[in-house]
Structure 1
Amino acid sequence: MSQKQSQWILAEVPEIPPDIDDTLPEILVRMLCQRGVEIGDMKRFLQPRLQDLQDPFLMPDMRPAVDRILTAIDQNQSVCVYGDYDVDGITSVTLLTRVLRAYGVKTRSFIPRRGPEGYGLNEAALKRCMSEGDKPDLLVTVDCGTASLTEIAALTTDGVDVIVVDHHEPPPQGKPDCIAVVNPKCPQEREGDSFDYLCAAGVVFKLAHALLKTRMIDGFDLKEHLDMVAMATVADIVPLVNENRLLVRHGLKFLANTKNEGLKALMEVAQVKGPLTSADVGFRIGPRINAAGRMDRPEDALATLTTTDADEAAALAETLDGHNKTRQGEELRIHKAALKQLEAEHDPSDPVIVLGSRDWHPGVVGIVASRLMRRFHKPTFIIAIDAQGIGKGSGRSIGGVSLMDAINANRELLEAGGGHAMAAGISVHEDKIDAFRQGFADFVTTHVSEEDRLPRLHIDAEIDFPTLSLDFLKSYELLQPFGSANPEPLFMTREVWLTEPPQELKNHHLRLSMKQKECWKSAMFFSAGQRKLPEQPWDIAFTINRNVFRGRTSLQIVIQDVRAHQKED
């Protein structure tokens, strides 16, 4: 099955307002306009300030949550913080536990295991949670709980008060009956920022802010814990808008000089050195934390972030790195097997990819689904089937195809299913996988035209080689942090020639030396060694970043796509 050629779509050049700040490069202003940033907000966007954070009590149920936690502090009650096994959940547990212990609260934490227990509050995980310590007076869920109406009702009946701190959508039945549900996705009557873009760690940060506004702790600086919030916000791929952008921008600075021994050790293992970017979190630090959850050892990640001993942190970071290498090995094995199965069983004209096996690990099927979706530009589900014949699948989609709509259209074939338009999970019996594949394909062909399913490369601006200077890079970096809703800009340039044959490095990466007229540049083209390259000259689509090697700083071009040169229309 061949990879589809992308259609390049160059964004229209916006009209530059006459009263714009002339100290900003024109191309930077153009990209700000393309991203919907108003003239009066440009400086605030480029230089966000912590003093612009809004009142945390604008969040729903914040006052009853703060009051109940203060009661736990004053009455010396025990608290359990119950989270999720991904980066957002583990950093949320770490941050809230640290704040509560700073108040002197008897606090323990709990993370469910993905394989045997699954996500969120559930009977199996709660049974283990209660067996590992005394029954708490107060249980605070982070990054879960909004949809756990039955489980929370049982806890309340058992005499455990519950506070939910979450960012997931409430169920149709409404929010659970408990002390408070601090979740920006829940309806509220107050006007102003809805905060619905926050990840769980962002909501925990607001709760901590509200607690400290109500009762300060001598010597406790909440800003120093923005490293946790930045990591979670990037790793959870929530929109980098409003306060998220502010929290990540400043959080990355604190992360570069973190006081957290576990993060220091993780950055050492991942060979990450400041100044840090969202890519460092998303591709180097975050995956090592997530790998523990994928390998059913989330407690290792939690221990790494909570230890205060440097030697223990170093050992735990090595353990996480080992989990990540195991995850990478499993991912590679499953990816190869999936490609083989795809070649043998699927027609290249199929509009979807649905593959399953009893030999696949459920913790990594989502990553494999993402790789296949990007390679073949088809909505994809990869399913790990257990010994009882129940498959747990993860899906990733392309623009225009909603996985949730597809799941709802095929509910009768599934045991369960939920998620979002672009990423979702299903539970399906192996006997019904073929029927689901057909139903999924029928939904896609019925609701989305073939033209709308073609891959598109959306390019922000056309730029020539002489413009790519370190001065331009310095201004360009003000757009960071990049992520959801503020993607890394994609540039293009025309009619470039290779000055020598491509140099293939390990993992099929290419190092290229190119020229455009009389200007020479070097570039990296990752995983392109086995790709058939077009005849020269080329047009190239690329991103840029800062490269520091042996003390020398340069602007690095990273090619995303190439095509034979096409003259401008």
Structure 2
Amino acid sequence: MSSVPAPLWSLQCPDAAAVQALAQGPLGRELNPLLLHLLALRGHEAEAVARTFLNPRLSDLGDPFVLPNMSTAVERIFQAVDKKESVVLYGDYDVDGVTSITLLTHTLRAYGLDPRAFLPLRMEEGYGLSLDGIARCFERHGKPTLLIALDCGTGSIAEADWLKAHGVDCIIVDHHEPTPRLPECAALVNPKLRGESGPFTYLCTVGLVFKLAHALLKTRRLDHFDLKHHLDLVAMGTVADLVPLKEENRALVRKGLDVLGATRCVGLKALKDITGLDGFVQAHHIGFRLGPRLNAAGRLDTAQTALDLLLCTDPKEANEFANLLDLHNRERQEVENTVQREAQAMLASEPELAEGECIVLGSRGWHPGVVGIVASRLMREYHRPVLMLAFDDHGTGKGSGRSVPGISLVAALDGCRHLLDKGGGHPMAVGVSLNESNLVAFRAAMIEGVRSQIRSDELAPRLHLDAEIRLADLAPAFFDGYARMEPFGMGNPEPVFLCRRVEPNLPGQVLKEKHWKLMLRQGKEMRPAMWFNAPVKDAPPPPWDVAIKVQRHSWRGQVSWQLMICEARAAE
């Protein structure tokens, strides 16, 4: 089913004066003109700014104590260290949550404190701090004197009050949007307390835990503990949580990927082995191979296996955990595909559901752990915000939403609060809970909430092209500089290039009935290319104009570059 018109191809143009200025400076003698074009297009127009972007350094990291309440958190943690208090780390069940717990566990162990880790059950206890989750946590580990909530807690007013009433201090380290009333706790470390213009608002929780660990080490140095050795965990959580890869995130992920390539963590090594990564790791490997497997267990049941994998030290045990996560991932994919087919059938039978500015679907029998992924797929297909809700037999629904650039789902939710049991998140992704009886009213309110934000063509599908190239441009000098643009991800998207009038060597090689391996020719130049999920039986007539990405690959230590076709059309 074709849901929306084919995307309009839009070739972006940077400021010509900015490109000229870079070309006339020292960088102009170092970099291919195409790379100067890309730098200017991404706003790195000044020489110093461009160099910082190309060469992110850990030595440039800022003072962790500028984060709200960091000094108080450090003081309370050292009190727990000195008095050998019982400490529980209570985290979320996604990659950011489990990497945050793992990093803080390693840090506190280095100070001689052995904290207990706890993850809530997604189905029974829901996201974040909950009274049910806290009760089970205390049954399992006993009542601690200090509970550190990671990747959750900013909106947990009642839970923080309950902990305080029962004599448990609480430190919250979180990056989610603050609520009008904040929880009463020993310390709330959240950069967004100072608004979106404050420092470090782009960090996810594992990035904040890195800052917390850095603050601890600045206060009380440890010669036997090197925080840089754990940057693989920071890279994993940061990339998987889809936060912008800018400023310090860029430095942390760039260095973290290097650490991940030769990781000392036996769990991550086992996970790399099972996904076929032999050393060299890029951000998209986390996004599409490693991250989904760590997330899979938490989506369907409990994330305990993911946490056990990251914390274990026995290679044999790590391989067992990695195999179990791989199995969970395959099960998760089957559940996702079933929910997606049912959602598409719903839209086919009731086309009016796709006609509004926001698509809101709900059904009994859908698994709440996968509706966010399906919402993301439908958002890309229909190019409009999508919310998917899974209702249980009692009509209680839990759901997730994903948005398009320029439309804030959090802002849209503000007009629906009276219909929700719970709801919040980020502009691009939210989680909600509501009763099935409110679904129709919620759908109407969300459509209105999205419609009120539309100022231009936010819902029009576009394929943004960064630059026009020829196959001859893809030479070693270009590749050497292009690698310095990495890592790609949120906030630094992988460039998409336009290459005109190329001839594919049809029929090429079809893999798994949907992927196409081709050779592209332009004049005398030929380059191999892959086209995933290609319209093999409905391809445009050659020659083609192609939208392509250029990706670095490694196999047994040998690095190569390959073209990845995003779209193709008959040449203009």
TM-based fold match above 0.5: yes
C-alpha distance in 2, partners of 1:93/1:351?
39
Q: Tell me the residue number matched to 1:154.
A: 162
1:371-397 per-residue CA deviation (whole Å, 9 max, x = no partner) reads 111122232122111011122121112
User: Where does 1:146-185 land on structure 2 (aligned, <5 Å)?
Assistant: 146-173=154-181, 175-185=182-192
Structure 1 residue 489, shift from structure 2 partner: 0.9
Q: Tell me the residue number matched to 1:5.
A: 6
Structure 1 residue 258, shift from structure 2 partner: 0.9
Across the aligned residues of Structure 1 and Structure 2, the Cα RMSD in angstroms comes to: 2.0
2:438 to 423, 426, 432: 432
AA aligned opposite 1:24: L
Q: Tell me the residue number matched to 2:563.
A: 557
1:232 to 214, 234, 237: 237
1:61 to 48, 53, 69: 69
1:303-353 per-residue CA deviation (whole Å, 9 max, x = no partner) reads 110011111111111111111111011011111222222211224644443
1:287 to 270, 287, 292: 292
AA aligned opposite 1:264: K
AA aligned opposite 2:89: V
C-alpha distance in 1, partners of 2:263/2:558?
25
Secondary structure of 1:32's aligned partner: helix
Structure 1 residue 403, shift from structure 2 partner: 2.0
Q: Does 1:29 align with 2:36?
A: yes
C-alpha distance in 1, partners of 2:391/2:282?
37
Structure 1 residue 411, shift from structure 2 partner: 3.4
Structure 1 residue 443, shift from structure 2 partner: 4.5
Would the alpha carbon gap of residues 268 and 210 (structure 1) be closer, same or farther in structure 2, given more than 3 Å must change?
Answer: same
AA aligned opposite 1:206: K
1:31-56 per-residue CA deviation (whole Å, 9 max, x = no partner) reads 11111122112222212222112222
C-alpha distance in 2, partners of 1:333/1:464?
42
Structure 1 residue 452, shift from structure 2 partner: 3.7
Would the alpha carbon gap of residues 106 and 504 (structure 1) be closer, same or farther in structure 2, given more than 3 Å must change?
Answer: closer
1:42 to 41, 50, 59: 50
Q: Does 1:84 align with 2:85?
A: no
> Structure 2, unaligned stretches of length 5 or more?
none
Q: Tell me the residue number matched to 1:422.
A: 428
CA contact (8 A) 1:400 1:453 kept: no
Structure 1 residue 416, shift from structure 2 partner: 3.1
CA contact (8 A) 1:469 1:555 kept: no
CA contact (8 A) 2:245 2:490 kept: yes
Secondary structure of 2:143's aligned partner: coil
C-alpha distance in 1, partners of 2:83/2:355?
66
Secondary structure of 1:95's aligned partner: helix
User: Where does 1:441-456 land on structure 2 (aligned, <5 Å)?
Assistant: 441-445=447-451, 447-448=453-454, 451-456=457-462
> Structure 1, unaligned stretches of length 5 or more?
none
User: Where does 1:73-472 land on structure 2 (aligned, <5 Å)?
Assistant: 73-173=81-181, 175-187=182-194, 194-347=199-352, 349-445=355-451, 447-448=453-454, 451-472=457-478
Which of 431-440 and 327-336 deviates more?
Answer: 431-440
Would the alpha carbon gap of residues 507 and 341 (structure 1) be closer, same or farther in structure 2, given more than 3 Å must change?
Answer: farther
Would the alpha carbon gap of residues 447 and 228 (structure 1) be closer, same or farther in structure 2, given more than 3 Å must change?
Answer: closer
AA aligned opposite 1:162: C
1:61-120 per-residue CA deviation (whole Å, 9 max, x = no partner) reads 111211111111111211111111000010000111111112111411111111110111
User: What is the aligned residue count?
Assistant: 562
C-alpha distance in 2, partners of 1:122/1:485?
32
Identity of aligned residues (%): 48
AA aligned opposite 1:54: G
C-alpha distance in 2, partners of 1:352/1:322?
34
CA contact (8 A) 1:390 1:430 kept: yes
CA contact (8 A) 2:517 2:530 kept: yes
Secondary structure of 2:192's aligned partner: coil
Structure 1 residue 163, shift from structure 2 partner: 1.2
Secondary structure of 1:250's aligned partner: helix
C-alpha distance in 2, partners of 1:480/1:419?
28
C-alpha distance in 1, partners of 2:392/2:102?
32
AA aligned opposite 1:218: D
Normalising by the residue count of structure 2, what TM-score does the alignment of the two structures yield? 0.94
1:439-498 per-residue CA deviation (whole Å, 9 max, x = no partner) reads 433444565378441101111111111011233222101001111111111111111122
